Structure 1
């Protein structure tokens, strides 16, 4: 796909020039999610493994009396699973899955802050040279000397776990 054909997804920015996000780390990379998606940030909770579940979403947690899936998106990005640290957190988000609003937990290494990112500083992920699938990334936003990755959760949750379940070397 040519550079000119690749665009920043309009669903992210709409008519606004800024996007309010929650920033967090996974494996030394800075990611961000739209703040409006975030329901709560939790310390780590006891997890219950689900027999036969795909590793990407291999366990569930109790969130306010509801059982919700706990995702490790590092597995979708082909990163190694790691042990939690004192800084590890769970971000509970509401995600549209098959037309239904669904609560899901995302395991992170560290949560940073709620901040605003500028549309003018955003760009689509490059089609080559990335260590991850470009369709798993909505855009990259330059802030200072670093890039913040805005993951495409719809794509990750629809195909990411299936891809890794089919390739045992990725688990």
Structure 2
């Protein structure tokens, strides 16, 4: 079976999200910073009258924070009725990935990223890290930003 995904980059690494979870891809807009939210929450933006928490996906994955500029797109995803904006470094393509080729990542001790990865899919010479939105968005502290 084929799954369609949007691929994007963070720190030179290739990631994918199921296209059915994506509401839109929008240009960067300044965020309103909130006190007391997790470090990976950059702030919130107004999305057609709704408050949208915007996550720095690089920080959420345990990497360096993104110095966001107008070149950084925001991917708006929805999972189980919750919408979040994800700051990424670049959006690449829509690709079809054979779900039979997706392999489970090896869990490394205290490596925060593998808990957010649903699997690894070969795509030519590269590997696409397929994000698990359920675990990515699971944080009670995020509700403070919504």
TM-score of the two chains, using structure 1 as the length reference: 0.75
Structure 1 residue 51 displacement after superposition: 1.2
Who is 2:92 aligned against?
A: 112
- Report SS of the residue matched to 1:123: coil
Report the aligned-residue RMSD. Answer: 2.2
Higher helix share: 1
Say which of 120, 136, 145 aligns to 1:156.
136
State the alpha-carbon separation in 2 of the partners of residues 161 and 58 from structure 1: 13
- Report SS of the residue matched to 2:77: strand
- Report SS of the residue matched to 2:135: helix
Structure 1 residue 72 displacement after superposition: 1.3
Contact 2:56 2:66 in 1 (8 A): no
Who is 2:82 aligned against?
A: 102
Structure 1 residue 25 displacement after superposition: 0.6
Who is 2:8 aligned against?
A: 24
* Structure 1 unpaired stretches of 5+: 1-16, 163-171
Who is 1:166 aligned against?
A: none
Question: Does residue 52 of structure 2 align to residue 72 of structure 1?
Answer: no
| Offset from partner CA, 1:33-57 (integer Å, 9 cap, x none) | 1101111110101200011111122
Who is 2:44 aligned against?
A: 60
Residue correspondences, number: 142
Say which of 118, 137, 144 aligns to 1:138.
118
State the alpha-carbon separation in 1 of the partners of residues 18 and 106 from structure 2: 21
Question: Does residue 18 of structure 2 align to residue 37 of structure 1?
Answer: no
| Offset from partner CA, 1:132-163 (integer Å, 9 cap, x none) | 4422210000011110001112112225979x
Query: Kindly tell me: are residues 133 and 91 of structure 1, through their superposed partners in 2, closer, same or farther at Cα, counting changes over 3 Å?
Result: closer
Contact 2:59 2:66 in 1 (8 A): no
TM-score of the two chains, using structure 2 as the length reference: 0.87
Larger Rg: 1
Query: Kindly tell me: are residues 45 and 86 of structure 1, through their superposed partners in 2, closer, same or farther at Cα, counting changes over 3 Å?
Result: closer
* Structure 2 unpaired stretches of 5+: none
